[in-house]
Structure 1
Amino acid sequence: MCGRYTLLAEEAEILKEYGIERPIDGYEPRYNIAPGQKVLAVIHDGKQKRAGYMKWGLVPSWSKDPKIGYKMINARSETAHEKPSYKRLMSQKRCLIVADSFYEWQKTESGKQPVRIQPEKRSLFAFAGLWDQWEGDEESLYTCTILTQDANEFMTPIHKRMPVILPEGREDEWIEPVKWSPSDAKGFVEQLTMDDLHAYEVSDYVNSAKNEGPDCITPIA
């Protein structure tokens, strides 16, 4: 799964990397982004790419209870094309969720050890995400989920699942304003090449979603 990540890049770097013309309203770097919080996402509205914040935890448009989002922070890429909550979104509501590292908790003899994971050759990347809009009587929510897949050889000793990281140069394909079949979206993910990753252990300070700041990413000796 993917349940915590970072985004420390400057706003100008993000705008340049993803070809965004307008400033990002309310942008701030984050060391410990958690489910239920706002996350920076990029979509294509048919005319241009747009960056803005969504709530992490998908609330399908047809849901009667927005609290369902707390159970839908991740979607399995292998089966999302078949699931009622994700099938339509795989077809036409795909997004980029911008990050520069993610955390995972590795099981050890002494307990769960938090680890920070990053691509070796990129300082900025995007998870493959799905999004939807939910309308209530008094509020409108834009929410998203991160696609996951089986861990690759590097990640397997750390965790059995990992987020789908879009390769450099393939992000625009994922959000192109073209309606795909859900199966085509699944096929796109399956043929992606994986980034080489590196990882290091960090302190359990990051365990609490309330904690923020450089101590979250400081390597432990």
Structure 2
Amino acid sequence: MCGRYTLLADELDILEEFDVERQITDYHPSYNIAPGQNVLAIIHDGKEKRAGYLRWGLVPSWANDEKIGYKMINARSESAHEKPSFKGLMSRKRCLIVADSFYEWQRINDQKIPKRIHLKDRKLFAFAGLWDKWQHTYKALFTCTILTKEANPFMQEIHHRMPIILPKDKEDDWIAPSRMEPQEAQAFLEQIDPDDLTAYSVSSYVNAAKNNDEACIAPFAD
């Protein structure tokens, strides 16, 4: 799964990395991005790529209660093309969720040790995501979820699931405005393997979502 991550890059670096022309409204870096918060995402509107904020935790357009979003921070890529909440989004509402590392908790004996995981050779990257608009009377929400897969050999020692990190040359393909059949989108994700990952232990300070400073990413001796 993916339940916390970071985005510390400068706005200009993000715009350059993802070839986005318009500035990001109210951009702010974060050491400890958590479900329920607004997260930076990129979509293609048919004319250009746009970067803006979506709330993390998908609220499907048909949902009666927005609180369902707290149960839908991740979507399993293996079955998303079959699930009512995600099937239509796989066809037409795909997004990039911008990050530069993520946290996962490794169980060692009876302890859970937080690890910060990032790419060896690329500072910024994008998770494969889905988004939707929810409208209830006068309230509208734009929300998203991060797609996950079975852990690769590196991640298996830490956790059995991992977020899908798109290779650089697959990012534009994922958010291309052309419609994909749900099965086609699922097959696309099946072929994705991230670049080499590396990880180190951090303090349990990161466990509390209210903590959001450099101490979250400081190396911690096991």
TM-score range, shorter chain: over 0.9
Partner of 1:200: 200
Partner of 2:218: 218
Aligned residues: 221
Q: Please, which runs of 5 or more residues in structure 1 have no aligned partner?
A: none
Residue 38 of structure 2 corresponds to residue 44 of structure 1:
no
Within a 5 Å distance, the mapping from 1:108-119 to structure 2 comes to 108-119=108-119
Q: Please give the secondary structure, in 1, of the residue aligned with 2:159.
A: coil
Residue 128 of structure 2 corresponds to residue 132 of structure 1:
no
Compute the displacement of 1:77 (Å). 0.2
Hey, what's the Cα distance between the residues in 1 that align with 2:193 and 2:201?
A: 25
Within a 5 Å distance, the mapping from 1:9-158 to structure 2 comes to 9-158=9-158
1:159 corresponds to which letter in structure 2? H
Q: Please, which runs of 5 or more residues in structure 2 have no aligned partner?
A: none
Hey, what's the Cα distance between the residues in 2 that align with 1:191 and 1:159?
A: 20
Contact 2:43 2:175 in 1 (8 A): yes
Hey, what's the Cα distance between the residues in 1 that align with 2:129 and 2:8?
A: 19
Compute the displacement of 1:110 (Å). 4.5
Q: Please give the secondary structure, in 1, of the residue aligned with 2:13.
A: helix
Hey, what's the Cα distance between the residues in 2 that align with 1:43 and 1:74?
A: 18
Hey, what's the Cα distance between the residues in 2 that align with 1:178 and 1:102?
A: 30
Structure 1 range deviating more: 102-111 or 42-51: 102-111
Q: Please give the secondary structure, in 2, of the residue aligned with 1:194.
A: coil
Hey, what's the Cα distance between the residues in 1 that align with 2:111 and 2:193?
A: 32
2:41 corresponds to which letter in structure 1? A
Hey, what's the Cα distance between the residues in 1 that align with 2:38 and 2:183?
A: 29
Contact 2:165 2:193 in 1 (8 A): no
Hey, what's the Cα distance between the residues in 2 that align with 1:194 and 1:27?
A: 26
Q: Percent identity?
A: 65
Hey, what's the Cα distance between the residues in 1 that align with 2:143 and 2:29?
A: 20
Deviation sequence 1:100-142 (CA, Å, 0-9, x none): 0000000012410000000111000000000000011121100
1:64 corresponds to which letter in structure 2? N
Q: Please give the secondary structure, in 2, of the residue aligned with 1:54.
A: strand
Deviation sequence 1:156-197 (CA, Å, 0-9, x none): 010000000000111000000010000000000011232110
